[in-house]
Amino acid sequence: MTKKQEPQKGNSKTDDLNQNTENGRGHAMTTNQGLKINDDTNSLKAGERGATLLEDFILREKITHFDHERIPERIVHARGSGAHGVFKVYDDSLKKYTKAAFLTDPSRETPLFTRFSTVAGFRGSADVPRDVRGFAVKFYTEEGNYDLVGNNMPVFFIQDAIKFPDLIHAVKPEPHNEIPQAASAHNTFWDFVSLSPETMHNIMWLMSDRAIPRSLRMMEGFGIHTFRLINEEGKSHFVKFHWKPLLGTHSVVWDEALKINGQDPDFHRRDLFEAIESGAFPEWELGVQIVPEEDEHNFDFDLLDPTKLIPEEIVPVQKVGKMTLNRNPQNFFAETEQIAFHPGHLVPGIDFTNDPLLQGRLFSYTDTQLSRLGGPNFHEIPINRPITPIHNNQRDGIARMEINTGKTSYHPNSISQGDPRQAKVSEGGFASYQERVDANKVRARSKSFMDFFSQPKLFYNSLSEPEQSHVVEAFCFELGKVDMPEIRQRVVNLLSKVDGALAKKVADGLGLAVKKPEEPINHQFGADANPQDYQPVKVTPTLKESPALSMVNTIKGSIKTRQIAFLAADGVDSKSLSIMKDALESEGAVVKIIAPRSGFIKDSSGNEVKVDHSILTFSSVLVDAIYVPSGEKSINTLKQTPKVIHFLDEAFLHCKAIAADDEASELVKITYIAKYLNKNLEKQIDNGLLLGSISDKNFSENFIKAVGNHRFFEREKEGKIPA
Ligand code: HDD
């Protein structure tokens, strides 16, 4: 286990939050009015067995507060986990593009809070449904708060914010019976998708392994929209923001995700919390793709269309700085639940474009906080307030904390000598980018948004074979849960526009044929619009493949924070256990001893070994790899424990690294791994199944390499184990 480090102290946001922290240690209990409480256990009664008295203000205060503890959860992204951290830019190379100091001054360390989330599920839903993940970062800069409110996928489902309520109503549980929870696999979602071809690109990402991340720490993040960077001279460049995790981008497999949600619904929340507590601080590099204004129309898609990405092979991602998450919240509700993000929280040097999805978001985020956080003063909640002072003429409202002194609350005024005054641009005043606009007021969508299929195809083409087959399986699963055949058929028809072979495989899985759609397939246009103006246009893309889109090409090799289960029982060989444990821990992995019972087991030298989990309370889906140390007695016990056999089979099914020392191979031989593959296990099946001896130094080294490889998907070609 990595050594625990002290949380960062004394940055400007920590100091700010400290003003509002409270801790009851060493103090007497009081009411909210500060009165010391003598008895918190019994209500005030008319006699020991009599009725409770209305005058019991202590009881009333306690119950009343409790009755109002809940606030509405977020309409979307209700389930989330967050952490504090810092951002530091590497150098001042972005100065030619932006005047945002936190992006150009390498001496600054900007405090921040990041909240990750799923989209569809309720606040108490599980962490690993098939879903997009929110990736929202609030930078507390010296010029005010800047929020980058993105997702772990670089594109969105729809092109115009006016369709957002429809998309979300379709994906959320169905209105008549509130089923299913945190799942897109149902009629209404796919009904909407089947009539809205603009969703296809994000749908392809949603059906890929990106939608089931191994860890929040192993996800990319994307700002999605094209934004603007504005420099000192007022010149604008287009920019797309990326977050690149230093641990690489990794996913679990679908069967595993289904099981994790039962075994540990807090899988991602726990993983993030524990990594930070142990001092293994998650890190991401901030990347930018910069496009000069003059090049706006040089792409085969529209930069304002949020269903499109700029392939990294066309505009490389420049890594400009690093975010480190280094402190867990002290109170989930006060911080993670009450934080309020808004893509419209800007600092000088960054501005918007006319992306119609972004434009609508600029309204929605403040508006939603009014009901979620109860009024217009949510910016005063400690986690939301900037580290810069706030001075303006806004006043009053529910739960106002600030005591605004002075005689004026308007501008212009003479009584307060005109203060608070407006700031010149040279003093840091924000001035919107002066984009020239000359157009008719219309409800319409640009023809340049009507290529719905070439980027989904680019994505699919860029995936490795196993990644592609996971996409096929995901479509078959999701549409298999749709019980209206006409919806399935429409989706298959749309898929045929993306990739004929993909559509055929999905159709086969569903027992359908790929049909040519007879009617226009886009149903999203106004009543008086000409449908032809909204039908897909065919574009021949510049690129056939974009290797950056496949997780095969991500960072691999590190086993830092990877969870390794050691299956052991009484009599486990002490050397076999300790040599491998030391080797793994020295690389930053976390070893969990899993035994048939809780408490302690005795190793071959008679020493007690603490059991982390009994096999009853644990499952292979909660770890990255498995090691079985030798020890005849231990192996004999494990052989007679059916859950152990299942544990190994399941880990193999999920393509994880497995190592067995000496006689531990005998245990592997009675699993399906041997039976199913019908191979001689003395020979290696792949580099992820290691049957060797701990006395051979290469054994632990090869296991470390295997864990660092993440998964061995080539196994899936051999067929799947029934585990
Ligand atoms: Fe949104 C929350 C990301 C489109 C309306 N959104 C929310 C969160 C994330 C995103 C990460 C959770 C923030 C948190 O942790 O508190 N949303 C996106 C992205 C989008 C997007 C990347 C497209 C590129 N969203 C979008 C549109 C609308 C909204 C088009 C409405 C027109 N989003 C909301 C919201 C939420 C929200 C209803 C719910 C809670 C909140 O805002 O604070 O206003």
Ligand 1 touching residue 318 (CB < 6 A):
no
- Mean pLDDT value of segment 456-477: 98
- The amino acid at residue 140 is Y
Ligand 1 centroid distance, CA of 534 (Å): 26
- The CATH number that applies at residue 139 is 2.40.180.10
- The CATH number that applies at residue 589 is 3.40.50.880
Residues 106-140: pLDDT tens digits? 999 999 999 999 999 999 999 999 999 999 999 99
**Residue 615: inside a domain, yes or no?**
yes
Taking the CA atoms of the chain, what radius of gyration do you get in angstroms?
28
Residues 699-715: pLDDT tens digits? 999 999 999 999 999 98
**Least confident piece of the model among 59-63, 334-338, 669-673:** 669-673
- The CATH number that applies at residue 501 is 1.20.1370.20
Please name the residues in contact with 69: beta carbons below 8 A apart, sequence gap of 6 or more: none
Does 4 have pLDDT greater than 60?
no
Domain of 530?
Answer: 453-552
Region for residue 233 given its phi and psi (left: phi exceeds 0; alpha: psi -120 to 50; beta: otherwise): alpha
Please name the residues in contact with 406: beta carbons below 8 A apart, sequence gap of 6 or more: 416
**Cβ pair 323, 284 in contact under 8 A:** yes
**Phi, psi dihedrals of residue 10, rounded to the nearest 5°:** 75, 20
List the Cα angle 265/267/269 in 5-degree steps: 105
Mean pLDDT of the chain: 95
Are 264 and 317 found together in one domain?
yes
Ligand 1 touching residue 189 (CB < 6 A):
no
Q: What is the pLDDT of residue 306?
A: 98
- Cα separation, 310 vs 239, in Å, equals 10
- Cα separation, 644 vs 280, in Å, equals 30
CA distances for 354 relative to 291, 306, 436, angstroms = 15, 11, 12
Q: Which two tokens stand for residue 295?
A: 């090049």
Ligand 1 touching residue 134 (CB < 6 A):
yes
Q: What is the pLDDT of residue 3?
A: 44
Are 460 and 505 found together in one domain?
yes
DSSP per residue over 239-301, as a string? EEEEEEETT---B--HHHHHHHHHH-TTHHHHHHHHHHHTT---EEEEEEEEEEGGGTT-SSS
Residues 483-493: pLDDT tens digits? 999 999 999 99
Question: Which atom in ligand 1 lies closest to the alpha carbon of residue 363?
Answer: 32
**Domain end residue (candidates: 552, 582, 612):** 552
Residues for the chain: how many in total?
Answer: 723
**Cβ pair 121, 168 in contact under 8 A:** no
Whole-prediction pTM = 0.97
Are 608 and 535 found together in one domain?
no
**Residue 541: inside a domain, yes or no?**
yes
Question: Which atom in ligand 1 lies closest to the alpha carbon of residue 357?
Answer: 30
Ligand 1 touching residue 345 (CB < 6 A):
no
CA distances for 437 relative to 231, 295, 433, 447, 552, angstroms = 21, 18, 12, 18, 43
Q: What is the pLDDT of residue 2?
A: 41
Q: What is the pLDDT of residue 681?
A: 62
**Domain end residue (candidates: 501, 518, 552):** 552
- Alpha helices (H) in 339-453, listed in sequence order: 356-372
Ligand 1 touching residue 360 (CB < 6 A):
yes
Are 151 and 250 found together in one domain?
yes
- Which residue's alpha carbon is at the smallest distance from atom 15 of ligand 1? 115
**Cβ pair 628, 668 in contact under 8 A:** yes
Ligand 1 touching residue 136 (CB < 6 A):
yes
Please name the residues in contact with 17: beta carbons below 8 A apart, sequence gap of 6 or more: 382, 383
**Cβ pair 368, 74 in contact under 8 A:** yes
**Domain end residue (candidates: 503, 535, 552):** 552
DSSP per residue over 429-487, as a string? ------------------GGG---SHHHHHHHHHS-HHHHHHHHHHHHHHHHT---HHH
Counted domains in the chain: 3
Are 575 and 513 found together in one domain?
no
- Cα separation, 710 vs 655, in Å, equals 9
- Mean pLDDT value of segment 552-571: 96
Does 1 have pLDDT greater than 70?
no
Q: What is the ipTM score, two decimals?
A: 0.99
Are 572 and 523 found together in one domain?
no
**Residue 337: inside a domain, yes or no?**
yes
- The amino acid at residue 669 is K
Are 253 and 370 found together in one domain?
yes
H or E element in which residue 237 lies: strand 236-245
- Which residue's alpha carbon is at the smallest distance from atom 3 of ligand 1? 150
- Alpha helices (H) in 50-163, listed in sequence order: 57-67
**Residue 405: inside a domain, yes or no?**
no
**Residue 29: inside a domain, yes or no?**
no
Closest by alpha carbon to 478, among 223, 131, 23? Answer: 131
Closest by alpha carbon to 347, among 669, 105, 635? Answer: 105
- The amino acid at residue 503 is A
Burial class (CB in 10 A: 0-12, 13-18, 19+), 680: exposed
**Residue 148: inside a domain, yes or no?**
yes
Ligand 1 centroid distance, CA of 663 (Å): 54
- Mean pLDDT value of segment 10-23: 94
Residues 424-436: pLDDT tens digits? 999 999 999 999 9
Are 534 and 584 found together in one domain?
no
Question: Which atom in ligand 1 lies closest to the alpha carbon of residue 75?
Answer: 39
Ligand 1 touching residue 365 (CB < 6 A):
yes
Ligand 1 touching residue 580 (CB < 6 A):
no
Residues 304-342: pLDDT tens digits? 999 999 999 999 999 999 999 999 999 999 999 999 999
**Residue 612: inside a domain, yes or no?**
yes
Ligand 1 centroid distance, CA of 371 (Å): 15
**Residue 23: inside a domain, yes or no?**
no
Q: What is the pLDDT of residue 490?
A: 95
Are 564 and 546 found together in one domain?
no
Residues facing residue 567 across a β-bridge:
594
Are 380 and 317 found together in one domain?
yes
Angle in degrees, 0-180, between the axes of helices 164-171 and 187-195, rounded to the nearest 10:
140
- Mean pLDDT value of segment 214-238: 98
Q: What is the pLDDT of residue 6?
A: 53
Q: Decide: helix, strand or coil at residue 610.
A: strand
- Which residue's alpha carbon is at the smallest distance from atom 21 of ligand 1? 361
- Cα separation, 347 vs 429, in Å, equals 9
635-641, long-range: CB < 8 A, 24+ apart: 635/663, 635/664, 635/666, 635/667, 637/569, 637/570, 637/571, 637/596, 638/567, 638/568, 638/569, 638/596, 638/667, 639/666, 639/667, 639/670, 641/569, 641/596, 641/615
- Cα separation, 397 vs 374, in Å, equals 10
**Phi, psi dihedrals of residue 289, rounded to the nearest 5°:** -110, 120
Ligand 1 centroid distance, CA of 495 (Å): 27
Does 541 have pLDDT greater than 90?
no
Question: Which atom in ligand 1 lies closest to the alpha carbon of residue 77?
Answer: 12
Residue bearing tokens 């989930």: 332
Are 340 and 372 found together in one domain?
yes
Q: What is the pLDDT of residue 720?
A: 83
Are 366 and 249 found together in one domain?
yes
